[in-house]
Chains A and B, each alone.
Chain A
C-alpha cells in the first residue's frame, strides 16, 4: 500500500539572480513498511526532499500526499499536528531534550498528544527495551553515549506510532559498532512493527542495509533500486 505519493515536486531557491533547483521534478511513491535510503552527493537535494516530506518545508510546486492528506493544503498549525501524529524524526545530532531522562524524552511526544499515563509508560518501556536501553531509563542524555542517545531518538520517533520515520543522516556521528547496532535495531523494528523508514545518508553501511536505494543528483532521481 502506498503511503507517500510525490508528484512533480520542485523546490527552487532564488540565490541572488541565479535560480537553484534543490529538488527538480521528483516523482516518487513510498510503500508501507519500506526501508528506504535516499543517497547522493552533498547538495543533491536529499535533506530538502526529506524536509518537504516531513512538512518542515513547503515545495515551490508539486504535491506530497500522505495517505489521503495533501501536505500542501495544510495550514501551519495543522502541519504541526500532522507531524506529531504521523511522522517520526531522527536527526543527525540526536537532538534529545537535555533536561529530560531517556524515558521522559521518549514519552514527550505522547505527552503532547495527551495520551494517558499508563499507555505512555507501557509504550516507553516497550520501546526502550526494543532499542536495548532497559535499565538506562532514568539517565539523562549527557550520561549516554552517542549511540545510546541515537537509540533513544529512535524510540522517541516511534513513540507516537507514526506512519513513517524520517532519519536524516542518523549514523553520521556514530562509530562503526554503534552504527551497526542502531541499523540492526531499526531493521528489526521495520520487520516486526512494519514501520516505514526513510533515511537520507552518505553512509554505505546504511545503504547496504536498505531495501530500496534512491539516488538523487542535482535534485533529480537518477536511480531507484529495490533489493530482492
Chain B
C-alpha cells in the first residue's frame, strides 16, 4: 500500500515530476552512452594492443630487453617454440628475430624495429595479416619481401613494390645492409606502431644479421583463453627459469590500466551526473514535503508511524529517480546497440587519434556489470536524496501539521 501511495503521489503534479524525470533521463542517457562509448574505445585499444602488437605472452633472453642487443638470443628458439605449441592452453607460438635498424628509401630514412617472422606462425599469434590493406602478406614477392605500416610508407614516400634498404649491425658487430621490396602495407589504428615496426621473413633477416637458423630474440605466445593469462605466465616462468617470461600486462602496463581507467572514468562521470541530479531531486522532494504538511500530519494522527512516513517518502523519491533512470538507461543502451554495428566515426572531429593508438571509429560496448552498477548508483541516489526531505517530514508535530493551511 505504501509503495502504491508513493507511486501515485509522483503523478499528483505531473509537470513537476515530469521535469525532474526528464532531467534524470537526459543525465542517465548521457552517462550510459558515454560509458558504452568509453568502454568500446578502450576495448578497441586493448584488443589492438594485444591482438596486433604484443600478443598474450612473450619469452626473451633475460638480457635482451635491457638494451636490445642482437647477441642476446634464445639459442634453441625454434625447438622451444615447438615444445610450447603442445601446451593445451596455447593457441599459437611464433619465434621472431627482432633488431633495431635503419630503413631508407630513395627519399629519406628512419629508425625502425625490424622483425623477422615466419608468416604462417605469425598469423596464429597476431592479427597483423588482416590489416594488410595494400598488396599482400609475403606472397607476391619471392626475394626479400617486406611488410611495412601505412604511416611509414607515407613518411618514406614509398608504395608497393618500392625498394627500401635496411641497415643494421649484424651478430658479429659489423654494419651490414640489405635491399627489400615492399609487398604489403598494413593499416592499424595505431600510427606510431605503423611507423616504427616493419616485418620481413625470418630466414632473410637471419641471413642478413648473420644469426644461425633456429635462434630467436623473442617467442610470441597467443592463448586460447585470455583468462588463462596469469596461470600460463606463472607456469611458463617455472618451467623456464633461465628465460624472461612476460605477459602483455607486464610488457605494456599502460594497456592494462586502460580498462581500469576507462571504468573509473565512467563511474566518476556517472557519479558527477547523479550528484548534480541529486540536488534537483532533493529540491523537488522538499517542495513535496512542504506542500503536504497537513497530509503528513493526518497520516501520523491516524496511526502511520514515523518509519512508515519515512519509507513512503523514500519510496516516492526512489521511484521518481528510478523512472527517469530506467528511461535514460534504456535510451542510452538503445543508442549504443544501434551504433554498435557501424560505429561512431570521429575522424572529422578528432584527427590524430590514431597517432596515439586510438581508433577514430568507435564501436560502443554494452557490459552487463556496468549497467548493474549504474542502476545501483541510481537507486543509491534516490535513497540519499530522500533522506533530508523525509527527515524534515518526521519533525512535524501531527497536531500542528493538521492545522496548517
User: Bound complex: CA of A77 vs CA of B307, how far in Å?
Assistant: 10
Q: Are B402 and A97 in contact (CB under 8 A)?
A: no
Q: Which of A47, A80, A160 contacts B305 (CB 8 A)?
A: A80
**Cβ of B304: which chain A residues have Cβ within 8 Å of it?**
80, 84, 112
User: Bound complex: CA of A160 vs CA of B300, how far in Å?
Assistant: 15
Q: Which of B1, B298, B302 contacts A84 (CB 8 A)?
A: B302
Q: Are B5 and A99 in contact (CB under 8 A)?
A: yes
User: Bound complex: CA of A43 vs CA of B300, how far in Å?
Assistant: 25
Q: Which of A47, A81, A98, A104 contacts B303 (CB 8 A)?
A: A81
Residue A95 is within 8 A (CB to CB) of chain B in the complex: yes
Residue A89 is within 8 A (CB to CB) of chain B in the complex: yes
Contact with A along B1-42 (1 / 0, CB 8 A): 100010011011000000000000000000000000000000
Residue B376 is within 8 A (CB to CB) of chain A in the complex: no
User: Bound complex: CA of A104 vs CA of B402, how far in Å?
Assistant: 21
Contact with B along A73-99 (1 / 0, CB 8 A): 000010011011100010101010111
B interface residue count range (under 10 / 10 to 19 / 20 to 34 / 35 or more) = 20 to 34
User: Bound complex: CA of A166 vs CA of B398, how far in Å?
Assistant: 15
Smallest Cβ-Cβ distance to B309: which chain A residue: A80
**Cβ of A134: which chain B residues have Cβ within 8 Å of it?**
none
Residue A123 is within 8 A (CB to CB) of chain B in the complex: no
- Secondary structure dominating the interface of A: helix
Q: Which of A47, A89, A99 contacts B9 (CB 8 A)?
A: A99
Give the number of residue pairs across the A-B interface with Cβ within 8 Å: 61
Residue A56 is within 8 A (CB to CB) of chain B in the complex: yes
CB distance from B372 to the nearest CB of A (A): 32
Interface residues of B in 277-306 (CB under 8 A from A): 294-295, 298-306
Q: Are A95 and B295 in contact (CB under 8 A)?
A: yes
Q: Are B301 and A56 in contact (CB under 8 A)?
A: yes
User: Bound complex: CA of A52 vs CA of B5, how far in Å?
Assistant: 29
Residue B308 is within 8 A (CB to CB) of chain A in the complex: yes
User: Bound complex: CA of A109 vs CA of B308, how far in Å?
Assistant: 12
Q: Which of A56, A83, A112, A156 contacts B308 (CB 8 A)?
A: A112
- Secondary structure dominating the interface of B: helix
User: Bound complex: CA of A109 vs CA of B12, how far in Å?
Assistant: 22
Q: Are B305 and A81 in contact (CB under 8 A)?
A: yes
| CB within 8 Å for A56 and B399 given contacts A95-B294, A98-B12 | yes
Q: Are A84 and B303 in contact (CB under 8 A)?
A: yes
Q: Are B303 and A112 in contact (CB under 8 A)?
A: yes
CB distance from B315 to the nearest CB of A (A): 13
CB distance from A100 to the nearest CB of B (A): 7
Contact with A along B293-336 (1 / 0, CB 8 A): 01100111111111010000000000000000000000000000
Residue A57 is within 8 A (CB to CB) of chain B in the complex: yes
User: Bound complex: CA of A111 vs CA of B12, how far in Å?
Assistant: 22
Q: Which of A56, A77, A97 contacts B5 (CB 8 A)?
A: A97
Interface residues of B in 60-96 (CB under 8 A from A): none
**Cβ of A93: which chain B residues have Cβ within 8 Å of it?**
294
**Cβ of B299: which chain A residues have Cβ within 8 Å of it?**
97
Q: Are B303 and A80 in contact (CB under 8 A)?
A: yes
User: Bound complex: CA of A187 vs CA of B304, how far in Å?
Assistant: 28
User: Bound complex: CA of A104 vs CA of B306, how far in Å?
Assistant: 21
User: Bound complex: CA of A56 vs CA of B403, how far in Å?
Assistant: 12
Q: Are A77 and B305 in contact (CB under 8 A)?
A: yes
Q: Which of A54, A97, A156 contacts B295 (CB 8 A)?
A: A97
CB distance from B110 to the nearest CB of A (A): 75
Q: Which of A77, A81, A95, A100 contacts B402 (CB 8 A)?
A: A95
User: Bound complex: CA of A36 vs CA of B398, how far in Å?
Assistant: 24
**Taking beta carbons and an 8 Å cutoff, which residues of B are in contact with A?**
1, 5, 8-9, 11-12, 294-295, 298-306, 308, 397-399, 402-403
Task: Across the A-B interface, give the 9 residue pairs with the lowest CB-CB distance, nearest first.
Answer: A84-B303, A99-B8, A56-B399, A95-B298, A111-B1, A51-B399, A57-B399, A83-B303, A80-B305
**Taking beta carbons and an 8 Å cutoff, which residues of A are in contact with B?**
47, 51, 54, 56-57, 77, 80-81, 83-85, 89, 91, 93, 95, 97-100, 104, 108-109, 111-113, 156, 160
27 of the cross-chain contacts (CB-CB < 8 Å) are A51-B399, A56-B301, A56-B398, A56-B399, A56-B402, A77-B306, A80-B303, A80-B304, A81-B303, A84-B302, A84-B303, A91-B402, A93-B294, A95-B294, A97-B5, A97-B295, A98-B12, A99-B5, A99-B8, A99-B9, A104-B1, A108-B1, A108-B302, A112-B303, A112-B308, A156-B302, A160-B303
